[in-house]
Structure 1
Amino acid sequence: MDGLAATGLLALLLLLLLLISRFRRCRLLGEPPLDKGFVPWLGHALEFGKDAGKFLSAMKQKHGDIFTIKAAGKFITVLLDPRSYDAVLWESRCKLDFGQYARLLMDRMFDVRLPDYDPNAEKVMLRATLQNKNLPSLTKAMLFNLQTVLLSDPNKANRQWEEEGLFHLAYSTMFRAGYLTLYGNESKDYDDVSSRAKDLVHSLEVYHEFYKLDRLLMKAARSMLSAAEKKAFSSIKKNLWKLLSVKSLNCRANRSVWLESYQQHLVDLGVDEDMQTRAMLLQLWSTQSNAGPAVFWLLLFLLKHPSARAAVQGEVEGILRTRRQTMGQMQITNQEVLDNTPIFDSALNETLRLTAAPFISREVLQDMPLRLASGRECSLRKGDRLCLFPFISPQMDSEIYEEPEKFKYNRFLNSDGTEKTDFYKEGEKLKYYNMPWGAGINVCIGKFYAVNSIKQCVFLLLSHFDLELKDPDTKIPDFDKERYGFGMLQPENDVIIRYRQKDQ
């Protein structure tokens, strides 16, 4: 017993020494500046979680473009120089890996655990379903479903002024139409009145449940749900799992190639039906959580900036006027038309610059050097996390953009009306000057479908509805700061608008 006790005591002492060395971590030669905060283990977790944008901006002012912080026992190196992003974005997966963090969030947020999960291989497999030859059919289906949600709803068709929150209108419209496009309709016949009515009811039911879940997802990602919130979160997920069960989805018509491919992918992984359903909820969030907020911010900026609205609406009306006689509404499924909207594209890019704030994260799998654009070499430690935050730089960098906090709809236009792509930092032309879609191997595979969908929604709203702010002096709302790091930011509060359907 004495020997066993001595062995146990020695093991305990070694564990304590390991923990002490972890907590007493010091900056080594060649490593970025280290800022551990004043609270043991917790470090800067509270500041980081409360307002990552403000906190990381302050750290940049204090330490420069690269630094390491401690947050809840984890050491995170943050890189904020876009000239150096390539060194991270294209580094080998055996050194910098995205999969570990993705698996952690999948489990925390959606109870999804997939065997042999490889996010990069999954993206390669799904990319073709959202691009190239499949893009036209998705674009066409999205228009039909947007028309169902916006133009078939009797609440929007009475030509009387209605009041509604702009965020709710934008988010619900894009979510419901996007859900029907990817997950299928009640009937193959888009023009069947009874089927469209059922699509309206069903998509609204899914949206209402999803919206309740969305209010809790950021806390779930950070493991900050209270006991009552955990109970509600679990109940909402169960309701959504019923709506997204394999049996329910298999009965739907007009199922997208994306859905068919993803379901087969899960079967090939050996995933049972229960986990397939959970994965479908994960994908619902992945595919539908950003487009609605993007439409909200774009419309709000247009309503607050009359010259921008006039320019965008003039471009839209010009397209409708020149093509209506031969193509009717179907011109906004034509990719050539959708690609020929430079004013709209600039306004959208400016909106995304101001409101898209994803983290691009990698787990450091081995001690390694990171060469920066300045020529300096920084050492990264195995077990740390490396994070890029393009929202701070390039997107809100005053050296790159004059008055970066302001919305300028023509910021991405040259004087001749072509797209502007020349932006500079320290005299160097930037490859990465706006990164709402990510970059490198983790660029959003649904970008082209999402852009088409956003354009179609805004085109329909501007051409079919009179829109105005209830209070013209209403302020642009602050961001919901807990959303930093997870894609499109959402407003802290909604903005009430008045709208009515135009006489066509």
Structure 2
Amino acid sequence: MAWRSLLPWRCGCCVRSAGGEGRYITFIIDPLQYVSLTKLNKYLEFEEFADNISSRIFNYPSILKGNFPDLSENVHRNYQYLKGKSLDALSDSMIKNLQCIFKKRFSQATDWETEKMNKFCFSVMFEASFITLYGRDPSADGHNVVDAIGDKFTKFDANFSYLAANIPIELLGSTKRIREELIHYFLPNNTSKLLGVSEVIQARKDLFEMYEVLGDYDKAAHHFTFMWASVGNTIPAIFWTTYYLLRHPEALAVVRDEIDHLLQSTGQETGLGYSIRLTREQLDNLVYLESALNESLRLCSSSMNIRIAKEDFAFKLEGNQEVSLRKGDFIVIYPPILHMDPEVYEDPKKYKFDRYVENGKKKTTFYKQGKKLKYFLMPFGSGSSICPGRFFAMIEIKQFLVLLLTYFDIEVVGEKEVGHDKSRLGLGILLPDSDIDFRYRLRPAPKARPPPSSEARCL
């Protein structure tokens, strides 16, 4: 489908644009209409659209059109392992792995060391995410997953927007070869060697084994898809949250003080060798950290919420208006319109780390035209397309920041500003258009006694 700039029809609630193949794309621009759209599941679909794009990008057979009875339903059922007790176990494993990586790589950083911030965030989080989900190679002998596939992953990710736009992969240089190499890394004979696989990944492995028509390459492609989904937006979100905090020292001071207070109140030592454990509830109570994270997401998230009409119907709007949709027409919510609406967010282009805090508690009431909005922040999508890993994503971003701000003094080097890479518009968290230098050193431990050797033990 080709997009045009032509806007032949407009009202106060939505904009309609002419598309290719005789289709229309209707953008819902009034956030008060979002609730009405979520009630139209009878007439709208997303799953087939997502399956077509994902199977094309990651090179596995369509799970809806192939001979895979109930595979789609079973894959979605597998997301239960990203909630409840399974989420607690996953989160506990993540913070342990993050601490091991920080200890292994940075325990000697007593003097200032300078690195590229985005590269730093990627190397730590990619390794921690892989180990947490897929397990650790016992024979690696210091060789981490970033060394093995990190650079290839970055190169593939750089062309993700072109693949999503249906640009033939053959026109994207070495991207096809890189994709095959990444998929091969997830072949069963490779991942079977890893120890400590997470519950969610083990369940996916068991599920794929039930389908004999799925070849090893297809299974590996599904695992690569899951890995990309786990870090493709989380890592840039970590970069932006860190970047905005360092660019606003008053925000950094408040967030760091909140974290220090929590750790002190729970009697936890904070030196790099000590083990820090935080429950979901404790992380949830870090209201200024969460507000700073949400404000970063407001400024850098760019996902489109897309639905396709399954049949002809009329979408009724406020003010006795309606939009006639035909089968195959697209209807789209583009949350950045909401996120940058000055009626919803005062001075929306400005970073305000405490925008989501009111009287020391989380602020969840925002208004449009005097009416309370049900949807005021939408970085994870909505309805049937909402990110199933959103809870884990929020937890691991908070864990990374808690450890980073607890272990290190950090600051930006120079006055360079980083902008958004607009090539990812509509596809998730925007990437930075360049990297930036920052420096870090270990914070002095509050107590001089050495940490117990049994804590924060890394395999």
> Which residue of structure 2 lines up, in the alignment, with residue 159 of structure 1?
110
Q: Does 1:137 align with 2:61?
A: no
Given candidates 180, 185, 191, the residue that maps to 1:238 is 180
3-state SS of the aligned residue for 1:149? Answer: helix
> Which residue of structure 2 lines up, in the alignment, with residue 103 of structure 1?
51
> Which residue of structure 2 lines up, in the alignment, with residue 205 of structure 1?
148
What is the TM-score when the length of structure 2 is the normalising length?
A: 0.88
> Which residue of structure 1 lines up, in the alignment, with residue 453 of structure 2?
none
Contact 2:116 2:437 (8 Å CA) reproduced: yes
**What whole-Å deviation, never above 9, does each CA across 1:382-440 have from its counterpart, x for those lacking one?**
111111111112x11111110111110111111x2111111111111000011112222
**What whole-Å deviation, never above 9, does each CA across 1:81-103 have from its counterpart, x for those lacking one?**
221112322422x5211122212
Contact 1:437 1:443 (8 Å CA) reproduced: yes
3-state SS of the aligned residue for 1:324? Answer: coil
State how far apart, in whole Å, the 2-side matches of 1:63 and 1:219 are.
32
Q: Does 1:462 align with 2:394?
A: no
Q: Does 1:288 align with 2:236?
A: no
Residues 77 and 265 of structure 1: is their aligned pair in 2 closer, same or farther, counting only changes over 3 Å? farther
> Which residue of structure 2 lines up, in the alignment, with residue 496 of structure 1?
437
> Which residue of structure 2 lines up, in the alignment, with residue 8 of structure 1?
none
State how far apart, in whole Å, the 2-side matches of 1:318 and 1:382 are.
56
The AA in structure 2 aligned to 1:271 is L
State how far apart, in whole Å, the 1-side matches of 2:75 and 2:321 are.
33
How much does 1:107 deviate?
A: 2.9
Listed as ranges, the matches of 1:16-415 within 5 Å are: 42=2, 44=4, 64-73=12-21, 74-92=23-41, 94-116=42-64, 121-122=73-74, 124-153=76-105, 157-187=108-138, 198=142, 201-224=144-167, 227=170, 229=172, 231-269=173-211, 270-325=213-268, 330-393=275-338, 395-414=339-358
How much does 1:43 deviate?
A: 5.1
State how far apart, in whole Å, the 2-side matches of 1:496 and 1:125 are.
42
State how far apart, in whole Å, the 2-side matches of 1:502 and 1:318 are.
16
**What whole-Å deviation, never above 9, does each CA across 1:235-274 have from its counterpart, x for those lacking one?**
1012112211111112211111110122223333442211
The AA in structure 2 aligned to 1:377 is E
How much does 1:120 deviate?
A: 7.0
Residues 43 and 488 of structure 1: is their aligned pair in 2 closer, same or farther, counting only changes over 3 Å? closer
Q: Does 1:448 align with 2:448?
A: no
State how far apart, in whole Å, the 2-side matches of 1:119 and 1:164 are.
44
Residues 121 and 301 of structure 1: is their aligned pair in 2 closer, same or farther, counting only changes over 3 Å? same
**CA RMSD, 1 decimal:** 2.5
Contact 1:412 1:420 (8 Å CA) reproduced: yes
**What whole-Å deviation, never above 9, does each CA across 1:184-234 have from its counterpart, x for those lacking one?**
1124xxxxxx86x53x523432222211110111111113357552x4011
How much does 1:374 deviate?
A: 4.1
The alignment covers a number of residue pairs equal to 437
Q: Unmatched 5+ residue regions in structure 2?
A: 446-459
3-state SS of the aligned residue for 1:362? Answer: strand
3-state SS of the aligned residue for 2:379? Answer: coil
Larger proportion of helix: 1
Residues 62 and 468 of structure 1: is their aligned pair in 2 closer, same or farther, counting only changes over 3 Å? farther
Residues 66 and 164 of structure 1: is their aligned pair in 2 closer, same or farther, counting only changes over 3 Å? same
How much does 1:130 deviate?
A: 0.9
Percent of matched pairs sharing the same residue: 29
Contact 1:332 1:338 (8 Å CA) reproduced: no
**What whole-Å deviation, never above 9, does each CA across 1:316-342 have from its counterpart, x for those lacking one?**
111122223589955543222112111
The AA in structure 2 aligned to 1:157 is Q
3-state SS of the aligned residue for 2:159? Answer: helix
Residues 158 and 314 of structure 1: is their aligned pair in 2 closer, same or farther, counting only changes over 3 Å? closer
The AA in structure 2 aligned to 1:258 is V
Q: Choose 1 or 2 for highest CA Rg.
A: 1
The AA in structure 1 aligned to 2:351 is F
Residues 337 and 331 of structure 1: is their aligned pair in 2 closer, same or farther, counting only changes over 3 Å? farther
Contact 2:269 2:275 (8 Å CA) reproduced: no
Contact 1:172 1:292 (8 Å CA) reproduced: no
3-state SS of the aligned residue for 2:57? Answer: helix
Contact 2:87 2:392 (8 Å CA) reproduced: yes
3-state SS of the aligned residue for 1:293? Answer: helix
How much does 1:503 deviate?
A: 4.0
